[in-house]
Amino acid sequence: MNTTIFNKTTGWRILALVISLTLFGTSTVQAKKSSSKSPDTESAAEFVERIQKEGQELAKEVEAAYWVRNTYITKDTAVLAAKAGERSLEFESKLVNQAKKFLGTEMDEKTARAIELMLRGSSAPAPDDPAARAELAQILTDMEGQYGAGKYCDQKGENCRELQELETVLRESRDYDELLDVWQGWRTISPAYRQQYQRFVELGNEGSKTFGFDNLGDLWKAGYDMDTQEFTIEARRLWDQVKPFYEELHCHVRAKLSEQYGEDKVSLDGPIPAHLLGNMWSQTWDNIYPIMEPYEGVASLDVTAALKEQGYDELKMTQTAEGFFTSLGLPDLPDSFYENSMIKKPADRNVVCHASAWDIDNGNDPRIKQCVEINEEQLGTLHHELGHIYYYLMYKEQPSVFKGGAHDGFHEAIGDTIVLSMTPGYLKEKGLIDEVVESEEATINKQMKLALEKIAFLPFGKMIDEWRWKVFSGEIGPEEYNEGWWKLRTEYQGIAPGVERTEEHFDAGAKYHIPGNTPYTRYFLSFIMQFQFHKALCDAAGFKGPLHECSIYGNKKAGKKLGDMLTMGQSKPWPDAMEAMTGQRSMDASAIIDYFAPLNAWLKKENEGRQCGWTN
């Protein structure tokens, strides 16, 4: 997604702490039962208490440095951020070395869980060498800064456009050549840091080995309370649950785009050209809904027009998102949120517009950074970001080490779960549509629009880390970064570039999460779990109709179930949090199939006689 969170779950920047206890042949239960003593005079519980206090002090400095870096991109803020990141990496190295000493020693369950989480390290562990730590911090700062300052200028170096402006073209234009030009243009920013990314991989892998992993990908996969192979199998199982539905959607979208642009540009049996899907990365397709609308003019869903007509600005949109959460009985946002957040793009400086939520000062100063535009997509993004903020607020009283999502997919799923309750009935109550049309045609239209966002995203969410895991393991070498990227995009998504791409390009790096080094599987998992959560909350609210008609807006019973789970943070393994929310102990995509049952049946009928599928 176009979002991230700034706390332990984003890794290296703040005091992220990452290895599974299973790596060292122990577990929480084994730690409790062991009779051996700690090698130091300090007990495990005392160590946890001390390290949390030290971490909180350092975090204040690191958070401030990175907030300023993201909202004022200059050479000076790059220096400050890199130095802060270097100190964070040094702290992490010392912490991990100290925490390892307690493995296999006797401790209570709560302390054992804390030690386990401390040893789950960062998304970019540094080698245990000061020079390497400094280099890694500088590379990550530079890559993110170059991305944030990225522009596409014409051949004369004039008419420069930033990402937001380029995205507007992709969202609104239907001119094949204009779309291709903008798509190519944004990808001129990333070759500049391709060599830096290669060096980052080398340093990250070296750091992972000090944690006992073969490479950085294996370290990332170890953060889900299961071993890496088990997690790989689990992610594949979830994808297999939804893959047939995605293929039906792809088949229909391709056919409609072929009608729009001609079969010479969009073949009826091959991949879809990537620049035609309304999004810079083809990750969501809802911006081409006007082309895809099954029943023209039935139940208008033009929320963007209503927002503009009714004079919504960045503040009112943010307050509207807050109002959904407070309707559930969750607390008002603190005044500091509106005082310290950046919700409008400044006119006088470069900033990282990529939306993000920040847990600053140990939950006392939560804020978001988002260049809000007045459209429906950005309204949804605000709900997503406030999902992170409310997670921060609800687990604020937990010890620092337990402040985080049950796993990173939980954190990403909360706000999007709320968005599923933005039904036509809710939108009408807010005055954003004129009437609720109840008909089969209206249902199909609404589900098509949502599927173009939610279902279209799933293979993209899966393949980004598939590419990185192969890069980290060496299966995709530096000389084939781009070839490997497009091979996976075609395999998973059924899309391909509209022009030839070579190894002179670095198309993976044109997506924020690559230079920003944010693991992406969390988003894939969140898109599965948000429907699972939605069903559970609708059940708690006593809703009895079709799942796609349910809104929990204003329902305090659903709000309590949600709030109780958020309050847990990561104090328990994620299956415990999942059970508290849904009654299940595993992730499950069946709620997606239930939710979209009307559209799935409609697509299968529409696709009769079409040649579905594609070749890599």
DSSP string, 480-522: GHHHHHHHHHHHHH-EE-SS---TT--GGGGSTTTTTT---HH
DSSP state of 439: S
The C-alpha atoms of residue 43 and residue 50 are separated, in whole angstroms, by: 10
Rg (CA), the chain: 24
Q: For residues 5 and 37, what is the distance between their CA atoms, to the nearest angstrom?
A: 38
> Is 388 annotated in the active site?
yes
Length of the chain equals 616
Burial class of 541 by CB neighbour count within 10 A (0 to 12, 13 to 18, 19+): buried
3-state secondary structure of 151: strand
**What 8-state DSSP symbol labels residue 571?**
S
Task: Please name which of 270, 184, 292 lies closest in space to residue 496, comparing C-alpha atoms.
Answer: 270
* Marked catalytic residue, from 252, 383, 384, 411: 384
Contact 284, 453 (CB under 8 A): yes
In the structure encoding, which two tokens stand for residue 442, read together? Answer: 């209206």
Of 84, 137, 222, 355, the catalytic one is 355
- 384 flagged as catalytic: yes
Dist. CA 151–CA 537, nearest whole Å: 43
Question: Residue 194 in contact with residue 143, Cβ under 8 Å?
Answer: no
Q: Which residues contact 596 (CB under 8 A, 6 or more apart)?
A: 245, 447, 450, 451, 455, 548
Which amino acid type is present at position 292?
A: M
Q: Of 523, 536, 577, 595, which is the active-site residue?
A: 523
Q: Reduce the DSSP state of residue 285 to 3 states and report it.
A: coil
Which positions ≥6 away from 131 have C-beta within 8 Å? none
Which amino acid does the sequence have at 493?
Q
Residue from 248, 385, 453, 466 carrying the catalytic annotation: 385
Q: How far is CA 486 from the centre of its chain?
A: 21
Q: Is 355 a catalytic residue?
A: yes
84 is an active site residue = no
Pinpoint the alpha helices (H) of 420-439.
424-429
One of 248, 376, 377, 412 is an active-site residue; which one?
412
| Pairing mode, strands 355-360 and 3-6 | parallel
**Which stretch of DSSP H or E encloses residue 368?**
strand 365-369
Taking phi over 0 as left and psi of -120 to 50 as alpha, with beta for the rest, 225 belongs to left
523 labelled catalytic = yes
Q: How far is CA 143 from CA 262, 510, 565, in A?
A: 39, 11, 36
| Contacts of 465 by beta carbon, 8 Å cutoff, 6+ apart | 217, 220, 519, 520, 521, 524
Q: Which of 513, 520, 534, 536 is catalytic?
A: 513
Rounded-to-integer distance, Cα 270 and Cα 278, Å: 19
Residues 6+ apart with CB under 8 A from 268: 254, 255, 258, 610, 611
| Catalytic site residue from 252, 275, 354, 407 | 354
Cβ burial of 480 (10 Å; 0-12, 13-18, 19+) is: middle
Catalytic residue among 388, 407, 411, 548: 388
Which sequence positions are flagged as catalytic? 354-355, 384-385, 388, 412, 513, 523
